[in-house]
């Protein structure tokens, strides 16, 4: 899933620093993603929410939402 999401981001023409470095499942079953340095979730998620969900659902049909962590 990580590679597929990063390839889709690249195809959208985003700058090279806007990529996911890691995706993991949390203890409650959510997927957590680490963006590269200087990549802002505040800009990235609203702009690409639909595309991210579409790609992620190819790997896990239970994914229904993407949002920023409360950090």
pLDDT tens digits for range 3-59: 888 888 888 787 777 888 998 888 887 888 888 888 878 877 777 788 888 888 887
pTM over 0.75: no
Contact 21, 35 (CB under 8 A): yes
For the chain, first and last CA: distance in Å? Answer: 24
**What pLDDT does residue 70 have?**
62
Structure tokens that stand for 66 in this block: 């993407």
Return the higher-pLDDT residue of 68 and 26.
26
Triad 28, 67, 4: Cα angle to 5°: 85
The values of phi and psi at residue 25, to 5°, are -90, 135
3-state class (DSSP) for residue 23 = strand
């Amino acid at each position: 899933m990580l590679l597929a999401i990063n390839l889709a981001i690249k195809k959208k023409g985003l700058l090279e620093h806007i990529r996911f470095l890691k995706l993991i499942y949390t203890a409650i079953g959510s997927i957590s993603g680490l963006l590269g340095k200087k990549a802002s979730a505040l800009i990235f998620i609203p702009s690409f929410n639909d595309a991210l969900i579409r790609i992620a659902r190819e790997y896990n049909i239970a994914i229904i939402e993407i949002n920023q962590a409360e950090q």
